[in-house]
Structure 1
Amino acid sequence: MSVVVRNAAVILLLLLSFKLVALSPLGDLLAALGIGLAAALLAFRLARAGGLRWLAAMALGTFALLVATIGTLGGLAPLLQGMSDVGFSVGKHRFSLLTAINSLIIVAILYAAARLANQVLHHLIGRASGLDAAQQLLVQKLAGIGVIVVAVLLGIDLLGLDLTALTVFSGAVGLAVGFGLQKTFGNLIAGLILLMDRSVKPGDVIVVGDTFGAVGKIGVRAVSVVTRDGKEHLIPNEQLMTEAVENWSYSDRNVRIHIPVGVGYGSDLALAQKLMIEAASEATRVLDDPKPSVWLKGFGDSSVDHEILAWIGDPELGVGNVRSDILNRVWRLFSEKGIEIPFPQRDVHIRSMASAEMAK
Structure 2
Amino acid sequence: MKQQIAESIRLLNAIGFDIGNYHISVWGALRIVIVVLLVFVMGQLVSKLARRMFRRIDRLDRAQQLLGEKIASIAVWALAILIGIDVLGINLTALTVFSGAFGLAIGFGLQKTFGNLIAGIILLMDRSIKPGDVIAVADGKGNTFGEVKKIGIRAVSVTTRDNREYLIPNENLMTQQVENWSYSSREVSINIPVGVAYGSDLDVVEKLLLEAISGTPRVLGFPSPGVLLTAFGPSSIDLTMIVWIDDPEAGVGNVRSDVLWKVWRSFKEHGIEIPFAQQDVNLKDSAGLRRIADALTAREKPADA
TM-score (norm 1): 0.77
2:199: which partner in 1?
266
CA RMSD of aligned residues (A): 1.8
* Contact 1:281 1:291 survives alignment (8 Å): no
Instruction: Report whether the alignment pairs 1:221 with 2:154.
Output: yes
CA distance in 1, matches of 2:280, 2:249: 46
For residue 199 of structure 1, the aligned residue among 128, 137, 149 is 128
CA distance in 1, matches of 2:291, 2:203: 45
Read off the aligned partner of 1:226 and give its amino acid letter.
T
CA distance in 2, matches of 1:356, 1:250: 66
1:345: which partner in 2?
278
CA distance in 1, matches of 2:63, 2:80: 26
Instruction: Report whether the alignment pairs 1:89 with 2:22.
Output: no
The answer for unaligned runs of 5 or more in structure 1 is 1-66
Q: Residue 354 of structure 1: CA displacement? A: 3.6
Larger-gyration structure (1/2): 1
Instruction: Report whether the alignment pairs 1:80 with 2:9.
Output: yes
2:43: which partner in 1?
114
2:227: which partner in 1?
294
2:297: which partner in 1?
none
Instruction: Report whether the alignment pairs 1:141 with 2:49.
Output: no
* Contact 1:204 1:214 survives alignment (8 Å): yes
CA distance in 1, matches of 2:113, 2:7: 50
For residue 329 of structure 1, the aligned residue among 262, 268, 287 is 262
TM-score (norm 2): 0.90
Q: Residue 77 of structure 1: CA displacement? A: 2.8
Read off the aligned partner of 2:246 and give its amino acid letter.
G
Read off the aligned partner of 1:133 and give its amino acid letter.
R
Q: Residue 324 of structure 1: CA displacement? A: 0.4
Q: Residue 341 of structure 1: CA displacement? A: 0.7
Read off the aligned partner of 1:204 and give its amino acid letter.
D
Report which of the two has the higher share of helix: 1
CA distance in 1, matches of 2:132, 2:93: 47
Report which of the two has the higher share of strand: 2
CA distance in 2, matches of 1:354, 1:208: 62
CA distance in 2, matches of 1:354, 1:253: 66
Q: Residue 350 of structure 1: CA displacement? A: 2.5
Map 1:1-360; keep pairs closer than 5 Å. 75-209=4-138, 210-356=143-289
Q: What is the CA deviation profile of residues 51-109 of structure 1, one whole-angstrom value per residue up to 9, with x for unaligned ones? A: xxxxxxxxxxxxxxxx9xx9xxx823322221121112222222222222222222222
Identity of aligned residues (%): 55
Q: Residue 279 of structure 1: CA displacement? A: 0.7
Read off the aligned partner of 1:117 and give its amino acid letter.
V
The answer for unaligned runs of 5 or more in structure 2 is 295-305
Q: Residue 174 of structure 1: CA displacement? A: 2.2
